[in-house]
Structure 1
Amino acid sequence: MGWTVRETTDGVDWDEAAELVERAPLGTRDPRDLRAAFEASAHVCFVYGEGRLLGLGRALSDGVWQGGIYDVCVLPEAQGAGVGRAVVSALLSRMEGLTVILFASPGKEPFYERLGFRRMKTGMGRFARYEERREQGYVE
């Protein structure tokens, strides 16, 4: 499966992106909110192939010390083909030398470990919709 990596929000079909996020499954996102979040991010990545959006992700960064990767999603039928690795690698390449954190979906931790991420012992979070996140397995 061949694909194209794009690092701009220009020309993104936000309805298609919201559908990808839901199918990944990362939850339901309003296309307008998804667009606002990606356009406000320091770095973005979209992977296209076979005439459609296969994967996406975004990063926030201060450009000096810290970065965070968010919303990494790949269509279920494209998982295991390297699309997720392409998304994360593109984002990491824009944050060389920084400490980068992310939230992994429960069960996806081994994927990120293969890309050099390590589990944190002191990580803490303050979550919007805490009960929902607890039920999804993100927090204790």
Structure 2
Amino acid sequence: MSPIKIDVNDLTYKINPDLSTIDWTYVCELFDKVDWRTRVEADIEAAFRRSSWTLFIYKEDQLIAFGRTIDDGRYYAILADIIVDPDFQGNGLGKYLVNTLNEKLGDNYHFVNLTAAPGKGDFYKSLGWKKQSTCYIWPQGPKQKRLHTEPDPEEPTA
């Protein structure tokens, strides 16, 4: 299915909006739509409330993309939950999210990281991001281990 083509000038961009106006049920539906781990409304709202920057993109009243940053104010910052509705991918929204959130962080940090969804690495590389060789993950389950880690030749296989 081809993405829905849109005029980016017809969109509404909300940076750090009043989070009480966000439809958290639909935010969770977008996580499901991109096949990410299921989110609980209250938990994802709490996570966004603790974020340093949030960005939501709407086409009319429909939420079609969002992202956020998490940081300690000095050393480490993370771009997180960069989500574009698959029906609207290919319109530059992911690029806009990543670039805008990164600009909001500024040059104040020693490390700015993000975790790419499987298959999205080339997208981030096209924006100038580099694959980090020293980053590790503590997998929170078999799916996360399978999707986000390299095979360990010393680990027995099932």
Structure 2 length as normaliser, TM-score?
0.81
Q: Give identity over the alignment, percent.
A: 30
Pair 25,9 (structure 1): closer, same or farther in 2 beyond 3 Å: farther
Amino acid at match of 1:125: I
Amino acid at match of 1:121: S
Q: Residues 66-122 of structure 1, C-alpha deviation per residue, up to 9 Å, x if partnerless? A: 210111111111001111112112211111113310110111001111121100111
Paired residues of 1:26 and 1:73 also in contact (CA < 8 A): no
Q: Per-residue deviation at 1:50?
A: 3.3
Give the Cα–Cα distance (whole angstroms) in 2 for the partners of residues 39 and 70 of structure 1: 13
Paired residues of 2:79 and 2:114 also in contact (CA < 8 A): yes
Amino acid at match of 1:7: I
Return 5+ residue gaps in structure 1 as ranges: none
Specify the alignment match of 1:108 in structure 2: 120
* Aligned partner of residue 148 in structure 2, secondary structure: coil
Specify the alignment match of 1:133 in structure 2: 144
Structure 1 length as normaliser, TM-score?
0.91
Alignment counterpart, residue 118 of structure 1, candidates 130, 142, 147: 130
Question: What CA RMSD, in Å, does the superposition of the two structures yield over aligned residues?
Answer: 1.4
Alignment counterpart, residue 67 of structure 1, candidates 59, 77, 86: 77
Paired residues of 2:139 and 2:145 also in contact (CA < 8 A): no
Paired residues of 1:45 and 1:56 also in contact (CA < 8 A): yes
Give the Cα–Cα distance (whole angstroms) in 2 for the partners of residues 78 and 51 of structure 1: 14
Q: Does 1:4 align with 2:15?
A: no
Amino acid at match of 1:122: T
Superposition pairs of residues 30-41 of structure 1, within 5 angstroms:
30-41=40-51
Q: Per-residue deviation at 1:31?
A: 1.1
Superposition pairs of residues 40-51 of structure 1, within 5 angstroms:
40-51=50-61
Q: Per-residue deviation at 1:64?
A: 2.0
Alignment: residue pair count: 138
